[in-house]
Amino acid sequence: MSELFDTSDPSALLEGMRRARAAIATGKLIVLPTDTVYGVGANAFSAPAVAGLLSAKGRGRQSPPPVLIPNALTLPGLATDVPSVTQALTDAFWPGGLTIILDAQPSLTWDLGDANGTVALRVPNHPIALELLAETGPLAVSSANRTGEPAALTAALAQEQLGDSVSVYLEAGPPPIGEASTILDLTPLSRATGLARILRPGAVTATQLRSVLGAQLEPDTDPVA
């Protein structure tokens, strides 16, 4: 049976965070607030937990979830062959609404799905998410909705879609951005096969990205608002 905690109540916040940490530690799913939309999260290093996340959303292995991390210092431990411009991007947009795809460290013992050796990383700009990540470590997190349905903007709306497939829901009201993160693929730069590419427009615009990347961003992404 799932539980929803209203984090505006200090006692509920304390108990909800405790239950959320316990759920992650035992391979269960949680729903947590972020700055963009609510996310359904699992221990990134537990293959069964990640499989449960994909199942809860109605997705297959071909749609691996991004990984939320507590800060940019975590990035080198999870990604390799990181392009030099990555530092400027994380300085400008983390914490915030930018997800960056990089080549994953080959030594990592995780299974996020059919990611083809890559990992999508983001530092969210939300105090509850950041506090939880600081305690749990990296979490595989995807938008808290069934595939094909609108992304949830409250934990209660996420609970309507995901039900008891999630153990703990942390309610913090509507997120400050309310729009999915922009997904930027940097692997063409690291592999010297092309330019950085926006795979999904979102909270960070192409214009903002070009202010950092310049000519290293594909020109056909410029029309993205």
State the Rg of the chain over Cα. 17
Question: How many Å apart are CA 185 and CA 189, to the nearest integer?
Answer: 9
Query: Residue 225 pLDDT more than 60?
Result: no
Own/partner pairs, 218-221, CB within 8 angstroms, 24+ separation: 218/194, 221/197
Residue whose C-alpha is closest to residue 65's, from 183, 177, 186, 191: 183
Q: What is the mean pLDDT of the chain?
A: 95
- Look up the pTM and report it: 0.95
168, β-bridge pairs? 3, 30
Residue 131 has a pLDDT of: 98
Q: Which domains does the chain have, with CATH numbers?
A: 3-221 (3.90.870.10)
Q: How far apart are CA 97 and CA 70, in angstroms?
A: 14
With helix as H, strand as E and coil as C, how does the chain read? CCEEEECCCHHHHHHHHHHHHHHHHCCCCEEECCCCCCEEEEECCCHHHHHHHHHHHCCCCCCCCCEECCCHHHHHHHEECCCCCHHHHHHHHCCCCEEEEEEECCCCCCCCCCCCCEEEEECCCCHHHHHHHHHHCCEEEEECCCCCCCCCCCHHHHHHHHHHHCCEEEECCCCCCCCCCEEEECHHHHCCCCCEEEEECCCCCHHHHHHHHHHHECHHHCCCC
pLDDT, tens digit, 9 for 90 and up, residues 47-100: 999 999 999 999 999 999 999 999 999 999 999 999 999 999 999 999 999 999
129-172: per-residue pLDDT in tens? 999 999 999 999 999 999 999 999 999 999 999 999 999 999 99
In which band, very low, low, confident or very high, does the pLDDT at 221 lie, cut at 50, 70 and 90? low
Q: In this predicted model, what pLDDT tens digit does every residue of 182-193 receive, in sequence order? A: 999 999 999 999
How far apart CA 67 and CA 183 sit, in angstroms, is: 12
